[in-house]
């Protein structure tokens, strides 16, 4: 079991940070430091102090050694599309990644995978006031030339103006981090579901000519909204979007972002048959009770599960 492997690795002297860093090879999946710590506590394991963990993980980085690889670039791009920022020195002599959010669990998870750059333990940053009553949890890496090279991609003109690079990684990992950090889903009383990706800080050119075309290459229909300058996922692509990034949140605090109405996961007639004649023929088998279906809220769409869709297709389009 995963819990037994975590306990074994910890007792062997591996730090929580190291277990998280190596979670794919040790545990078969990505686990944040916070999740690992909770598992250890639940199993009654005495945790080493944070100072002991920090001394192991926050050792000075060798700036002459590069840790960058494609997986790390995906992580950085996902953070930069969402909640992340890169701080860099003049002439890109060094840089570090910072992530801040109202959810400690997300801050910890988002920095998972950047352990080669020794991200700090997430802690509350800034003051809690009447205007800002909720704590903000922040974490940042150490300075390193690898991250400076990424700063050049995202801030090619210097200053603090973010520009989405044309070679931005649009992968399951990067889009998942983007959605966790700056995505939202809403469902109205009339069962209208809207999924958005915040892009208000990016230029129109970056959105229209970089991000939207890359999403459309994945079969995800979307457009830029004029009111907020963000990306709106078309209703017909909502299921495809979540099939791409995953239908379940990797962190409990954002479970609500993955609550897609069940009826939207059903198969529509137009997904099975391309012509109106075939859809008319299909309705005969549905109305006669030979194939079971349901209606969408409001009754406009006929919806089927995979088994019934296959049965209907065989009846309408026999070989």
CATH class of residue range 70-167? alpha beta
Tell me: pLDDT of 127 over 90: no
pLDDT the model gives residue 56: 46
- Strand ordering across the sheet containing 183-187: 183-187, 193-197, 231-233, 222-224
Show contacts of 278-281: CB within 8 Å, 24+ apart: 278/316, 278/317, 281/316
What's the pLDDT at 290? 85
Rounded mean pLDDT, 48-63? 59
DSSP 40-74: HHHTTPPPPPHHHHHHHHSPPP-TTS----HHHHH
* Of 190 and 142, the one with more pLDDT: 142
Backbone angles phi, psi at 198, to 5 degrees: -70, 130
Instruction: Report the pLDDT value the prediction gives residue 99, as an integer from 0 to 100.
Output: 95
Residues 138-183 pLDDT 10s: 999 999 999 999 999 999 887 766 789 999 999 999 999 999 999 9
The pTM score is 0.72
Whether residue 46 is predicted with pLDDT greater than 90 in this model: the reply is no
On the question of a common fold for 70-167 and 173-262, the answer reads yes
Average pLDDT over residues 205-218: 95
Percent of the chain with pLDDT over 70: 88
d(C-alpha 95, C-alpha 85), whole Å: 10
The fraction of the chain above a pLDDT of 90, given in percent, is 41
Residue 120 has pLDDT above 80, yes or no: yes
How much is the average pLDDT of 92-102? Answer: 90
Domain 173-262, architecture per CATH: Roll (3.10)
Task: Measure the CA–CA gap between 313 and 180, rounded to whole angstroms.
Answer: 37
The residue extents of the domains of the chain are: 2-57, 70-167, 173-262, 266-316
Q: Which residues pair with 196 in a beta bridge?
A: 184, 232
Q: How many residues does the chain have?
A: 319
Min mean pLDDT across 85-94, 100-109, 171-180, 295-304 is at 295-304
């Amino acid at each position: 079991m995963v819990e037994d492997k975590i306990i074994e690795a910890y007792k062997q002297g591996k730090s929580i940070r190291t277990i998280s860093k190596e979670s794919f090879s040790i545990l078969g999946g990505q686990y944040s430091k916070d999740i690992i710590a909770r598992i250890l506590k639940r199993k009654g394991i005495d945790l080493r102090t944070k100072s002991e963990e920090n001394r192991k993980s926050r050792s000075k980085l060798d700036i002459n050694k590069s840790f960058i690889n494609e997986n790390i670039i995906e992580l950085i791009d996902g953070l930069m599309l969402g909640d992340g920022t890169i701080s860099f020195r003049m002439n890109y002599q060094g840089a570090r990644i910072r992530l801040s959010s109202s959810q400690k669990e997300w801050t910890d998870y988002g920095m998972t995978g950047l352990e080669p750059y020794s991200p700090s333990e997430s802690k509350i940053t800034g003051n809690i006031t009447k205007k800002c009553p909720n704590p903000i949890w922040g974490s940042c890496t150490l300075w390193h030339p690898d991250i400076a090279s990424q700063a050049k991609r995202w801030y090619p003109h210097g200053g603090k103006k973010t520009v989405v690079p044309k070679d931005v990684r649009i992968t399951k990992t990067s889009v998942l981090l983007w959605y966790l950090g700056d995505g939202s889903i809403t469902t109205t009383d009339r069962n209208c579901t809207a999924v958005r990706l915040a892009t208000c800080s990016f230029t129109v050119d970056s959105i229209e000519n970089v991000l939207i075309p890359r999403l459309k290459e994945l079969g995800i229909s979307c457009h830029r909204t004029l009111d907020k300058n963000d990306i709106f996922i078309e209703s017909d692509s909502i299921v495809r979007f979540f099939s791409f990034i995953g239908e379940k949140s990797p962190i409990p605090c954002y479970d609500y972002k993955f609550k897609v109405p069940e009826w939207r996961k059903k198969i529509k007639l137009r997904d099975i048959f391309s012509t109106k004649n075939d859809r008319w023929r299909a309705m005969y088998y549905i109305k006669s009770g030979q194939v079971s279906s349901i209606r969408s809220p409001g009754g406009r769409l006929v919806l089927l599960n995979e088994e019934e869709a296959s049965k209907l297709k065989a009846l309408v389009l026999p070989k």
